[in-house]
Amino acid sequence: MGKDKEKGKRARGTGEESLNPGKLARLIYPEFRFGVTDPDQAQKLVELGVGGFCFYGGKAGEVYEASRALKAASETPLVIASDYENGAGQWVAGATELPSNMAIGSSGSEALARRKGEITALEAKALGVDWIFAPVVDLASRPSNPIVNVRAFGSGMGLVSCLAGAYLSGVRSQGALSCLKHFPGHGGTETDSHLALPVLDKNLQELEEDLGPFAALAAQADSVMVGHLSLPALDANSPASFSKEVISGLLRKKLRYGGLVLTDALNMKAVSDEGRAGVKAFLSGADVLLYPEDPFALHSALVRASNDGIISGAAVELALARQDLMARRLLSFRSSPPPFETVRCPEHLAFNAEAAPACLAWAYGGNSFRVRPGETIGYFEPLAEPGRWKGGAFADELFRLGVRVEPYRPGCGMRLTAGIFSGPRAGSGSINLSTEEKYALEAAIAGAAGSAVLAFGSPFVLNGLENRPSAALCAFCALPEFQTAAARALFGGMHPGGTMPVSLA
Protein backbone atom coordinates (compact mmCIF):
# COMPACT_ATOMS: atom_id res chain seq x y z
CA MET A 1 0.00 0.00 0.00
CA GLY A 2 1.36 3.44 -0.96
CA LYS A 3 2.08 6.11 1.61
CA ASP A 4 -0.81 8.34 0.43
CA LYS A 5 -3.35 5.53 0.74
CA GLU A 6 -2.00 4.52 4.14
CA LYS A 7 -2.19 8.13 5.30
CA GLY A 8 -5.79 8.41 4.09
CA LYS A 9 -6.80 5.25 5.91
CA ARG A 10 -5.21 6.45 9.16
CA ALA A 11 -7.03 9.79 8.77
CA ARG A 12 -10.32 7.97 8.52
CA GLY A 13 -9.83 6.74 12.07
CA THR A 14 -12.16 3.78 12.56
CA GLY A 15 -11.80 2.54 8.99
CA GLU A 16 -13.94 1.97 5.91
CA GLU A 17 -16.71 0.01 7.62
CA SER A 18 -17.87 2.86 9.87
CA LEU A 19 -18.11 5.25 6.92
CA ASN A 20 -20.46 3.37 4.64
CA PRO A 21 -22.79 5.63 2.58
CA GLY A 22 -25.86 4.66 4.61
CA LYS A 23 -24.34 5.98 7.82
CA LEU A 24 -23.42 9.24 6.15
CA ALA A 25 -26.96 9.54 4.75
CA ARG A 26 -28.38 9.43 8.27
CA LEU A 27 -26.85 12.84 8.88
CA ILE A 28 -29.25 14.33 6.32
CA TYR A 29 -32.88 15.35 6.98
CA PRO A 30 -34.49 16.47 3.70
CA GLU A 31 -37.78 18.32 3.37
CA PHE A 32 -41.05 16.59 2.51
CA ARG A 33 -43.38 19.28 1.22
CA PHE A 34 -46.89 17.97 0.58
CA GLY A 35 -48.09 18.72 -2.93
CA VAL A 36 -44.52 19.36 -4.11
CA THR A 37 -42.27 16.49 -3.04
CA ASP A 38 -42.45 13.42 -5.26
CA PRO A 39 -43.27 10.42 -3.01
CA ASP A 40 -41.08 8.20 -5.22
CA GLN A 41 -38.17 10.59 -4.66
CA ALA A 42 -38.80 10.45 -0.92
CA GLN A 43 -38.76 6.65 -1.12
CA LYS A 44 -35.35 6.81 -2.82
CA LEU A 45 -34.10 8.99 0.01
CA VAL A 46 -35.33 6.43 2.53
CA GLU A 47 -33.44 3.75 0.57
CA LEU A 48 -30.37 6.00 0.64
CA GLY A 49 -30.67 5.92 4.43
CA VAL A 50 -31.55 9.49 5.47
CA GLY A 51 -32.12 10.00 9.18
CA GLY A 52 -35.53 11.60 8.78
CA PHE A 53 -37.61 14.24 7.04
CA CYS A 54 -38.88 17.70 7.82
CA PHE A 55 -42.58 17.90 6.90
CA TYR A 56 -44.25 21.01 5.51
CA GLY A 57 -47.96 21.42 4.81
CA GLY A 58 -50.42 18.67 4.06
CA LYS A 59 -53.84 17.68 5.30
CA ALA A 60 -54.01 15.81 8.57
CA GLY A 61 -54.80 12.47 6.92
CA GLU A 62 -52.01 12.91 4.37
CA VAL A 63 -49.45 13.65 7.06
CA TYR A 64 -50.53 10.62 9.06
CA GLU A 65 -50.31 8.26 6.07
CA ALA A 66 -47.01 9.65 4.80
CA SER A 67 -45.31 9.40 8.18
CA ARG A 68 -46.44 5.78 8.57
CA ALA A 69 -45.35 4.80 5.06
CA LEU A 70 -41.91 6.39 5.28
CA LYS A 71 -41.16 4.91 8.70
CA ALA A 72 -42.28 1.45 7.57
CA ALA A 73 -39.92 1.61 4.59
CA SER A 74 -36.86 2.63 6.59
CA GLU A 75 -34.33 0.14 7.97
CA THR A 76 -33.25 2.62 10.67
CA PRO A 77 -35.46 4.56 13.15
CA LEU A 78 -36.70 7.30 10.80
CA VAL A 79 -37.53 10.53 12.67
CA ILE A 80 -40.15 12.92 11.27
CA ALA A 81 -39.79 16.58 12.22
CA SER A 82 -41.67 19.80 11.55
CA ASP A 83 -41.74 23.51 12.42
CA TYR A 84 -44.91 23.35 14.54
CA GLU A 85 -44.00 26.48 16.50
CA ASN A 86 -47.66 27.45 16.89
CA GLY A 87 -49.16 23.99 16.94
CA ALA A 88 -49.57 21.47 14.14
CA GLY A 89 -52.31 23.64 12.64
CA GLN A 90 -49.70 26.22 11.66
CA TRP A 91 -48.79 23.85 8.80
CA VAL A 92 -51.40 21.09 8.70
CA ALA A 93 -54.93 21.59 7.44
CA GLY A 94 -57.29 20.00 9.95
CA ALA A 95 -55.01 20.41 12.99
CA THR A 96 -55.10 23.03 15.76
CA GLU A 97 -53.24 26.31 15.33
CA LEU A 98 -52.21 27.87 18.64
CA PRO A 99 -51.32 31.40 19.83
CA SER A 100 -47.93 32.87 19.02
CA ASN A 101 -45.16 32.74 21.60
CA MET A 102 -45.43 36.49 22.11
CA ALA A 103 -49.12 36.12 22.96
CA ILE A 104 -48.14 33.58 25.60
CA GLY A 105 -45.36 35.94 26.67
CA SER A 106 -47.92 38.68 27.24
CA SER A 107 -49.83 36.42 29.61
CA GLY A 108 -46.68 35.55 31.56
CA SER A 109 -48.35 32.23 32.30
CA GLU A 110 -46.23 29.11 32.65
CA ALA A 111 -49.45 27.06 32.65
CA LEU A 112 -50.44 28.39 29.21
CA ALA A 113 -46.91 27.86 27.87
CA ARG A 114 -46.87 24.28 29.13
CA ARG A 115 -50.33 23.59 27.70
CA LYS A 116 -49.25 24.95 24.32
CA GLY A 117 -46.38 22.45 24.40
CA GLU A 118 -48.67 19.59 25.43
CA ILE A 119 -51.24 20.23 22.69
CA THR A 120 -48.54 20.65 20.05
CA ALA A 121 -46.89 17.38 21.07
CA LEU A 122 -50.15 15.43 21.28
CA GLU A 123 -51.27 16.44 17.80
CA ALA A 124 -47.80 15.99 16.32
CA LYS A 125 -47.55 12.47 17.73
CA ALA A 126 -51.07 11.64 16.52
CA LEU A 127 -49.92 12.66 13.02
CA GLY A 128 -46.73 10.62 13.25
CA VAL A 129 -44.44 13.63 13.71
CA ASP A 130 -41.81 13.02 16.39
CA TRP A 131 -39.64 16.13 16.52
CA ILE A 132 -40.94 19.67 16.95
CA PHE A 133 -38.52 22.41 15.93
CA ALA A 134 -39.57 24.63 18.84
CA PRO A 135 -39.43 26.62 21.00
CA VAL A 136 -37.87 29.76 19.56
CA VAL A 137 -35.78 31.27 22.37
CA ASP A 138 -34.49 34.28 20.45
CA LEU A 139 -35.15 37.62 22.12
CA ALA A 140 -37.44 40.10 20.36
CA SER A 141 -34.91 42.87 20.93
CA ARG A 142 -35.08 44.61 17.54
CA PRO A 143 -38.45 45.83 16.19
CA SER A 144 -37.13 45.68 12.62
CA ASN A 145 -36.07 42.03 12.85
CA PRO A 146 -38.01 40.41 9.98
CA ILE A 147 -37.83 36.81 11.17
CA VAL A 148 -38.17 36.71 14.99
CA ASN A 149 -40.80 39.18 16.24
CA VAL A 150 -43.92 37.37 17.58
CA ARG A 151 -42.12 34.02 17.32
CA ALA A 152 -40.30 35.11 20.50
CA PHE A 153 -41.92 35.07 23.94
CA GLY A 154 -40.63 38.61 24.48
CA SER A 155 -37.52 40.72 24.76
CA GLY A 156 -36.46 39.76 28.29
CA MET A 157 -34.11 36.85 28.96
CA GLY A 158 -35.92 35.87 32.16
CA LEU A 159 -39.38 35.81 30.60
CA VAL A 160 -38.19 33.82 27.58
CA SER A 161 -36.31 31.29 29.71
CA CYS A 162 -39.23 30.78 32.08
CA LEU A 163 -41.94 30.29 29.45
CA ALA A 164 -39.79 28.29 27.05
CA GLY A 165 -38.91 25.99 29.95
CA ALA A 166 -42.60 25.44 30.66
CA TYR A 167 -43.22 24.75 26.97
CA LEU A 168 -40.39 22.20 26.90
CA SER A 169 -41.88 20.36 29.87
CA GLY A 170 -45.21 20.17 28.06
CA VAL A 171 -43.66 18.77 24.90
CA ARG A 172 -41.64 16.16 26.74
CA SER A 173 -44.58 15.06 28.89
CA GLN A 174 -46.40 13.92 25.73
CA GLY A 175 -43.45 12.11 24.16
CA ALA A 176 -42.33 14.49 21.43
CA LEU A 177 -38.83 15.85 20.88
CA SER A 178 -37.99 19.54 21.18
CA CYS A 179 -35.46 21.99 19.79
CA LEU A 180 -34.10 25.32 21.01
CA LYS A 181 -33.49 27.79 18.20
CA HIS A 182 -31.70 29.77 16.76
CA PHE A 183 -28.34 29.53 18.57
CA PRO A 184 -26.64 31.77 19.63
CA GLY A 185 -29.64 34.14 19.30
CA HIS A 186 -31.21 35.62 16.16
CA GLY A 187 -33.09 38.46 17.84
CA GLY A 188 -30.41 41.13 17.46
CA THR A 189 -30.23 40.92 13.65
CA GLU A 190 -32.11 42.85 10.98
CA THR A 191 -31.75 40.53 7.96
CA ASP A 192 -33.91 37.59 6.92
CA SER A 193 -31.54 34.60 6.73
CA HIS A 194 -33.83 33.07 4.09
CA LEU A 195 -32.56 35.84 1.80
CA ALA A 196 -29.06 36.81 3.00
CA LEU A 197 -26.62 36.27 5.84
CA PRO A 198 -27.50 38.35 8.92
CA VAL A 199 -24.66 39.86 10.92
CA LEU A 200 -24.73 39.96 14.73
CA ASP A 201 -22.14 42.53 15.69
CA LYS A 202 -21.63 41.50 19.33
CA ASN A 203 -18.70 40.18 21.29
CA LEU A 204 -19.02 37.32 23.78
CA GLN A 205 -19.82 39.63 26.69
CA GLU A 206 -22.52 41.41 24.69
CA LEU A 207 -23.99 38.03 23.72
CA GLU A 208 -24.66 36.99 27.32
CA GLU A 209 -28.32 38.02 27.31
CA ASP A 210 -29.00 36.29 23.97
CA LEU A 211 -27.27 33.17 25.25
CA GLY A 212 -29.20 33.21 28.53
CA PRO A 213 -32.17 31.05 27.46
CA PHE A 214 -29.88 28.51 25.77
CA ALA A 215 -27.69 28.27 28.87
CA ALA A 216 -30.72 27.92 31.13
CA LEU A 217 -32.58 25.34 29.04
CA ALA A 218 -30.01 23.28 27.13
CA ALA A 219 -30.19 20.46 29.67
CA GLN A 220 -33.98 20.19 29.18
CA ALA A 221 -34.00 20.31 25.37
CA ASP A 222 -33.53 17.37 23.02
CA SER A 223 -31.63 19.44 20.46
CA VAL A 224 -30.31 22.88 19.57
CA MET A 225 -30.58 24.46 16.11
CA VAL A 226 -27.74 26.75 15.09
CA GLY A 227 -28.76 29.76 13.03
CA HIS A 228 -27.33 31.04 9.79
CA LEU A 229 -25.85 34.27 11.08
CA SER A 230 -22.42 35.84 11.16
CA LEU A 231 -20.67 36.69 14.43
CA PRO A 232 -17.43 38.36 13.33
CA ALA A 233 -16.21 38.73 16.92
CA LEU A 234 -16.24 34.93 17.35
CA ASP A 235 -15.54 33.77 13.79
CA ALA A 236 -14.77 36.23 11.02
CA ASN A 237 -14.78 33.56 8.30
CA SER A 238 -17.82 31.31 8.81
CA PRO A 239 -21.50 31.65 9.77
CA ALA A 240 -22.45 30.25 13.18
CA SER A 241 -23.96 27.14 11.59
CA PHE A 242 -20.58 26.19 10.04
CA SER A 243 -18.32 27.54 12.78
CA LYS A 244 -16.22 25.33 15.04
CA GLU A 245 -15.75 28.32 17.34
CA VAL A 246 -19.52 28.68 17.75
CA ILE A 247 -20.65 25.03 17.82
CA SER A 248 -17.74 23.15 19.37
CA GLY A 249 -16.39 26.10 21.32
CA LEU A 250 -19.28 28.25 22.51
CA LEU A 251 -22.15 25.72 22.58
CA ARG A 252 -20.41 22.49 23.54
CA LYS A 253 -17.49 23.69 25.66
CA LYS A 254 -18.61 26.98 27.21
CA LEU A 255 -22.29 26.01 27.69
CA ARG A 256 -21.34 22.33 28.23
CA TYR A 257 -24.03 21.08 25.87
CA GLY A 258 -23.59 17.44 24.94
CA GLY A 259 -26.85 16.83 23.08
CA LEU A 260 -27.78 16.84 19.43
CA VAL A 261 -26.99 19.89 17.26
CA LEU A 262 -28.60 20.58 13.90
CA THR A 263 -28.16 23.27 11.30
CA ASP A 264 -30.90 25.58 10.18
CA ALA A 265 -32.22 24.77 6.69
CA LEU A 266 -29.34 24.49 4.23
CA ASN A 267 -31.49 25.70 1.33
CA MET A 268 -31.63 29.24 2.76
CA LYS A 269 -29.94 32.01 0.79
CA ALA A 270 -27.51 32.60 3.65
CA VAL A 271 -25.88 29.35 2.43
CA SER A 272 -24.10 29.52 -0.92
CA ASP A 273 -22.76 25.97 -1.41
CA GLU A 274 -24.77 23.22 0.26
CA GLY A 275 -22.25 20.44 -0.20
CA ARG A 276 -19.25 22.38 1.07
CA ALA A 277 -21.33 24.04 3.78
CA GLY A 278 -22.80 20.72 4.92
CA VAL A 279 -19.38 19.12 5.26
CA LYS A 280 -18.08 22.16 7.12
CA ALA A 281 -21.11 22.19 9.45
CA PHE A 282 -20.53 18.55 10.32
CA LEU A 283 -16.83 19.11 10.94
CA SER A 284 -17.73 22.05 13.19
CA GLY A 285 -19.92 19.88 15.41
CA ALA A 286 -23.39 19.59 13.81
CA ASP A 287 -25.01 16.14 14.03
CA VAL A 288 -27.89 16.75 11.60
CA LEU A 289 -27.80 18.60 8.28
CA LEU A 290 -31.28 19.95 7.71
CA TYR A 291 -33.22 20.50 4.51
CA PRO A 292 -30.68 20.75 1.68
CA GLU A 293 -32.00 21.75 -1.73
CA ASP A 294 -30.41 18.61 -3.19
CA PRO A 295 -29.97 15.88 -0.56
CA PHE A 296 -28.37 13.50 -3.04
CA ALA A 297 -25.68 16.07 -3.89
CA LEU A 298 -25.06 16.70 -0.19
CA HIS A 299 -24.71 12.98 0.38
CA SER A 300 -22.18 12.75 -2.44
CA ALA A 301 -20.20 15.60 -0.87
CA LEU A 302 -20.14 13.76 2.47
CA VAL A 303 -19.01 10.54 0.78
CA ARG A 304 -16.21 12.38 -1.01
CA ALA A 305 -15.12 14.00 2.24
CA SER A 306 -15.05 10.63 4.00
CA ASN A 307 -13.13 9.00 1.15
CA ASP A 308 -10.60 11.83 1.30
CA GLY A 309 -10.12 11.30 5.03
CA ILE A 310 -11.68 14.67 5.92
CA ILE A 311 -14.58 13.14 7.87
CA SER A 312 -13.60 10.54 10.45
CA GLY A 313 -15.53 7.46 11.38
CA ALA A 314 -15.37 8.40 15.05
CA ALA A 315 -17.12 11.73 14.37
CA VAL A 316 -19.86 10.03 12.35
CA GLU A 317 -20.43 7.41 15.05
CA LEU A 318 -20.70 10.11 17.71
CA ALA A 319 -23.28 12.05 15.67
CA LEU A 320 -25.30 8.88 15.05
CA ALA A 321 -25.08 7.94 18.72
CA ARG A 322 -26.68 11.29 19.58
CA GLN A 323 -29.43 10.62 17.02
CA ASP A 324 -29.98 7.13 18.43
CA LEU A 325 -30.19 8.44 21.97
CA MET A 326 -32.80 10.95 20.88
CA ALA A 327 -34.74 8.31 18.97
CA ARG A 328 -34.77 5.98 22.00
CA ARG A 329 -36.70 8.61 23.93
CA LEU A 330 -39.52 8.05 21.45
CA LEU A 331 -39.82 4.27 21.86
CA SER A 332 -42.38 4.08 24.65
CA PHE A 333 -44.60 6.65 22.96
CA ARG A 334 -44.27 5.18 19.46
CA SER A 335 -45.80 1.92 20.66
CA SER A 336 -48.97 3.72 21.76
CA PRO A 337 -49.31 7.10 20.04
CA PRO A 338 -52.34 9.32 20.67
CA PRO A 339 -55.33 8.38 18.50
CA PHE A 340 -55.73 10.30 15.25
CA GLU A 341 -58.93 11.84 16.68
CA THR A 342 -56.72 13.82 19.08
CA VAL A 343 -56.00 16.17 16.17
CA ARG A 344 -58.22 19.26 16.37
CA CYS A 345 -60.31 17.77 19.15
CA PRO A 346 -62.77 20.03 21.04
CA GLU A 347 -60.51 20.28 24.08
CA HIS A 348 -57.65 21.64 21.98
CA LEU A 349 -59.89 24.02 20.07
CA ALA A 350 -61.18 25.41 23.36
CA PHE A 351 -57.68 26.38 24.46
CA ASN A 352 -57.47 29.45 22.23
CA ALA A 353 -60.68 31.00 23.53
CA GLU A 354 -59.68 30.21 27.11
CA ALA A 355 -56.20 31.70 26.68
CA ALA A 356 -57.11 34.88 24.77
CA PRO A 357 -58.24 37.08 27.70
CA ALA A 358 -54.94 36.50 29.51
CA CYS A 359 -52.86 37.13 26.36
CA LEU A 360 -54.31 40.38 24.98
CA ALA A 361 -52.63 43.54 26.23
CA TRP A 362 -53.31 47.26 25.97
CA ALA A 363 -50.28 49.08 24.60
CA TYR A 364 -51.95 52.34 25.66
CA GLY A 365 -55.33 54.05 25.91
CA GLY A 366 -57.22 51.15 27.42
CA ASN A 367 -59.97 53.31 28.90
CA SER A 368 -60.21 55.90 26.13
CA PHE A 369 -62.03 53.93 23.42
CA ARG A 370 -65.25 51.98 23.94
CA VAL A 371 -67.92 50.88 21.49
CA ARG A 372 -71.63 50.75 22.33
CA PRO A 373 -74.65 48.79 21.10
CA GLY A 374 -76.37 50.60 18.26
CA GLU A 375 -73.23 52.52 17.28
CA THR A 376 -71.80 52.52 13.76
CA ILE A 377 -68.06 51.89 13.69
CA GLY A 378 -65.72 52.16 10.74
CA TYR A 379 -63.30 49.31 10.10
CA PHE A 380 -60.10 49.61 8.09
CA GLU A 381 -57.03 47.59 7.09
CA PRO A 382 -54.24 49.53 5.35
CA LEU A 383 -54.30 49.08 1.55
CA ALA A 384 -56.86 46.26 1.80
CA GLU A 385 -60.23 46.33 0.06
CA PRO A 386 -63.24 45.37 2.26
CA GLY A 387 -63.61 42.07 0.43
CA ARG A 388 -60.04 41.16 1.36
CA TRP A 389 -60.18 41.98 5.07
CA LYS A 390 -58.44 39.53 7.41
CA GLY A 391 -60.40 40.78 10.42
CA GLY A 392 -63.70 39.09 9.65
CA ALA A 393 -63.96 37.43 13.06
CA PHE A 394 -63.39 40.79 14.79
CA ALA A 395 -66.06 42.55 12.71
CA ASP A 396 -68.51 39.65 13.12
CA GLU A 397 -68.18 39.74 16.91
CA LEU A 398 -68.80 43.49 17.02
CA PHE A 399 -71.92 42.91 14.90
CA ARG A 400 -73.05 40.15 17.26
CA LEU A 401 -72.66 42.59 20.15
CA GLY A 402 -75.03 45.03 18.45
CA VAL A 403 -72.49 47.29 16.71
CA ARG A 404 -72.89 48.18 13.05
CA VAL A 405 -69.55 47.78 11.23
CA GLU A 406 -69.00 49.61 7.95
CA PRO A 407 -65.97 50.30 5.78
CA TYR A 408 -64.27 53.34 7.30
CA ARG A 409 -64.91 56.73 5.70
CA PRO A 410 -62.65 59.59 6.92
CA GLY A 411 -63.83 63.08 7.65
CA CYS A 412 -67.48 62.28 8.39
CA GLY A 413 -67.41 61.97 12.18
CA MET A 414 -66.95 58.20 12.07
CA ARG A 415 -64.89 56.43 14.73
CA LEU A 416 -62.21 54.07 13.46
CA THR A 417 -61.09 50.56 14.33
CA ALA A 418 -58.02 49.52 12.33
CA GLY A 419 -56.86 45.92 12.14
CA ILE A 420 -53.15 45.40 11.42
CA PHE A 421 -51.96 41.93 10.43
CA SER A 422 -48.19 41.81 10.29
CA GLY A 423 -45.91 38.97 11.28
CA PRO A 424 -42.78 37.03 10.32
CA ARG A 425 -42.92 35.38 6.93
CA ALA A 426 -39.89 33.50 5.65
CA GLY A 427 -38.39 35.13 2.60
CA SER A 428 -40.33 38.39 2.89
CA GLY A 429 -37.30 40.36 4.11
CA SER A 430 -39.46 42.84 6.01
CA ILE A 431 -42.05 43.14 8.76
CA ASN A 432 -44.32 45.74 10.33
CA LEU A 433 -45.77 48.43 8.04
CA SER A 434 -44.50 49.48 4.64
CA THR A 435 -44.20 53.20 3.98
CA GLU A 436 -47.47 53.11 2.03
CA GLU A 437 -49.32 51.18 4.74
CA LYS A 438 -48.06 53.51 7.45
CA TYR A 439 -49.13 56.57 5.47
CA ALA A 440 -52.59 55.06 4.88
CA LEU A 441 -53.01 54.23 8.58
CA GLU A 442 -51.93 57.68 9.74
CA ALA A 443 -54.27 59.33 7.24
CA ALA A 444 -57.15 57.17 8.48
CA ILE A 445 -56.40 58.05 12.12
CA ALA A 446 -56.18 61.76 11.27
CA GLY A 447 -59.64 61.69 9.67
CA ALA A 448 -61.38 59.83 12.50
CA ALA A 449 -63.44 61.13 15.41
CA GLY A 450 -61.58 58.61 17.60
CA SER A 451 -59.56 55.51 16.82
CA ALA A 452 -58.35 52.16 18.09
CA VAL A 453 -55.62 50.13 16.40
CA LEU A 454 -55.75 46.35 16.87
CA ALA A 455 -52.36 44.68 16.32
CA PHE A 456 -53.23 41.12 15.28
CA GLY A 457 -49.54 40.28 14.90
CA SER A 458 -46.44 42.37 15.45
CA PRO A 459 -46.88 44.98 18.20
CA PHE A 460 -44.10 47.02 16.61
CA VAL A 461 -46.52 48.32 13.96
CA LEU A 462 -47.38 50.91 16.61
CA ASN A 463 -43.87 52.36 16.60
CA GLY A 464 -43.29 55.74 15.03
CA LEU A 465 -46.88 56.71 14.21
CA GLU A 466 -47.02 60.49 13.88
CA ASN A 467 -50.81 60.38 14.23
CA ARG A 468 -51.24 58.21 17.30
CA PRO A 469 -54.58 56.43 17.80
CA SER A 470 -56.69 56.95 20.90
CA ALA A 471 -56.05 53.35 21.95
CA ALA A 472 -53.93 50.41 20.85
CA LEU A 473 -54.65 46.79 21.70
CA CYS A 474 -52.19 43.97 20.97
CA ALA A 475 -53.38 40.42 20.31
CA PHE A 476 -50.00 39.18 18.94
CA CYS A 477 -51.73 36.73 16.59
CA ALA A 478 -54.68 36.62 14.21
CA LEU A 479 -56.52 33.56 15.52
CA PRO A 480 -60.32 34.00 15.27
CA GLU A 481 -60.68 33.54 19.03
CA PHE A 482 -58.22 36.37 19.62
CA GLN A 483 -60.08 38.64 17.19
CA THR A 484 -63.31 37.85 19.02
CA ALA A 485 -61.69 38.66 22.36
CA ALA A 486 -60.39 41.97 20.97
CA ALA A 487 -63.91 42.96 19.94
CA ARG A 488 -65.21 42.12 23.40
CA ALA A 489 -62.40 44.17 24.96
CA LEU A 490 -63.47 47.25 22.99
CA PHE A 491 -67.03 46.60 24.06
CA GLY A 492 -65.95 46.43 27.71
CA GLY A 493 -67.08 42.84 28.11
CA MET A 494 -63.58 41.47 28.64
CA HIS A 495 -60.58 42.91 30.44
CA PRO A 496 -57.29 42.12 28.67
CA GLY A 497 -55.04 40.54 31.27
CA GLY A 498 -51.76 40.65 29.40
CA THR A 499 -48.72 42.85 29.90
CA MET A 500 -46.63 44.06 26.98
CA PRO A 501 -43.67 41.61 26.66
CA VAL A 502 -41.71 44.11 24.55
CA SER A 503 -41.13 47.86 24.72
CA LEU A 504 -42.51 50.18 22.07
CA ALA A 505 -40.80 53.33 20.85
> What per-residue confidence (pLDDT) applies to 429?
54
Residues 159 and 298 reside in one and the same domain: yes
Rounding to the nearest 10 degrees, give the CA dihedral for residues 109, 115, 116, 121.
150
Confidence band of 9 (pLDDT split at 50, 70, 90): very low
Residue 290: in which H helix or E strand, if any?
Answer: strand 289-290
Asked if pLDDT for residue 144 goes beyond 90, the answer is no
**Predicted local distance difference test score (pLDDT) of residue 80:** 98
pLDDT score, position 428: 55
Specify the long-range contacts of residues 270-277, CB closer than 8 Å, at least 24 apart: 270/193, 270/194, 270/195, 270/196, 270/197, 270/198, 270/228, 270/229, 270/239, 271/228, 271/239, 271/241, 274/298, 274/301, 275/300, 275/301, 276/301, 277/241, 277/242
Average pLDDT across the chain, whole number? 92
Tell me the C-alpha distance between 332 and 245, whole Å. Answer: 37
**Do residues 374 and 270 share a domain?**
no
Positions marked catalytic:
194, 264
- Which of 315, 336, 357 delimits the end of a domain? 336
Cα angle: 221, vertex 341, 39; to 5 degrees? 75
pLDDT for the residue 425: 66
CATH of the domain at 376: 3.40.50.1700
Residue 248 within any structural domain of the chain: yes
Report the pLDDT averaged over residues 121-132.
98
**Residue 4: which pLDDT band, with cuts at 50, 70 and 90?**
very low
pLDDT of residue 184: 95
DSSP 8-state class, residue 248:
I
Q: What is the pLDDT of residues 304-321, one digit of tens each?
A: 999 999 999 999 999 999
Q: In the structure, what pLDDT confidence band is assigned to residue 181 with cuts at 50, 70 and 90?
A: very high
**pLDDT score for 149:** 93
**Greater confidence, 223 or 271?**
223
For position 193, what pLDDT does the model report?
64
Residue 370 has pLDDT above 50, yes or no: yes
Residues 154 and 258 in one domain: yes
> Half-sphere exposure (CA, 13 Å, Cβ side) for 214?
30
When pLDDT is cut at 50, 70 and 90, the band that residue 269 belongs to is low
Percent of the chain at pLDDT > 90 equals: 82
Residue 378 confidence class, pLDDT cut points 50, 70, 90: very high
- pLDDT average, residue stretch 54-64: 98
For range 475-495, the mean pLDDT: 97
Q: Which residues, in sequence order, are bridge partners of residue 474?
A: 361, 455
Name the more confident of 268 and 182. 182
- Note whether 23 and 117 are same-domain residues: yes
In a domain, 112, yes or no: yes
Does the pLDDT of residue 6 top 80, yes or no? no
Domain contains 31: yes
Whether residues 178 and 230 fall in one domain: yes
Q: What is the pLDDT of residues 61-98, one digit of tens each?
A: 999 999 999 999 999 999 999 999 999 999 999 999 99
Indicate whether 375 and 432 sit together in one domain.
yes
DSSP string, 104-173: HHHHT-HHHHHHHHHHHHHHHHHHT--EE---B------TT-SSSGGGSS-S-HHHHHHHHHHHHHHHHH
Residue 132 scores a pLDDT above 90: yes
CA angle centred on 137, ends 132 and 138, rounded to 5°: 125
Co-location of 257 and 356 in the same domain: no
Q: Residue 473: pLDDT above 50?
A: yes
For residue 6, is it within any domain?
no
- Look at 278 and 198; give whichever has higher pLDDT: 278
Residue 255 has pLDDT above 90, yes or no: yes
Residues 437-446 have pLDDT tens digits of: 999 999 999 9
Structural domain containing residue 395: 348-491
Domain closes at, from 336, 363, 393: 336
Q: Is residue 500 part of a domain?
A: no
**In DSSP terms, which residues pair with 288 in a beta bridge?**
262
Domain-located, residue 52:
yes
Give the tens place of pLDDT for each residue, 183-241. Answer: 999 888 776 666 678 888 889 999 999 999 999 999 999 999 999 898 999 999 999 99
At residue 446, the pLDDT reads 96
Q: Are residues 404 and 306 in the same domain?
A: no
Q: What pTM did the predictor assign?
A: 0.94
Pair (203, 92) in one structural domain: yes
Whether the per-residue pLDDT at 12 is higher than 80: the answer is no
pLDDT value at position 236?
A: 93
pLDDT range class, residue 335, cuts 50, 70, 90: confident
Give the pLDDT band (50/70/90) at residue 336.
confident
385 shares its domain with 469: yes
Residue 60 inside a domain? The answer is yes
Q: How many domains does the chain have?
A: 2
Domain closes at, from 310, 336, 362: 336
Q: Is the same domain home to 231 and 109?
A: yes
Looking at residue 195, its pLDDT comes to: 64
Please, is 437 exposed, middle or buried when counting C-beta atoms within 10 Å of its C-beta (0-12, 13-18, 19+)? middle
Q: Is residue 325 part of a domain?
A: yes
Taking only the tens place, the pLDDT of each residue in 410-464 is 999 999 999 999 987 665 556 788 899 999 999 999 999 999 999 999 999 999 9
419 and 306 share a domain?
Answer: no
Q: What is the mean pLDDT of residues 99-128?
A: 98
pLDDT score at 196: 73
Cβ neighbour number for residue 415 with a 10 Å cutoff: 17
Q: What CATH number should be reported for the domain holding residue 54?
A: 3.20.20.300
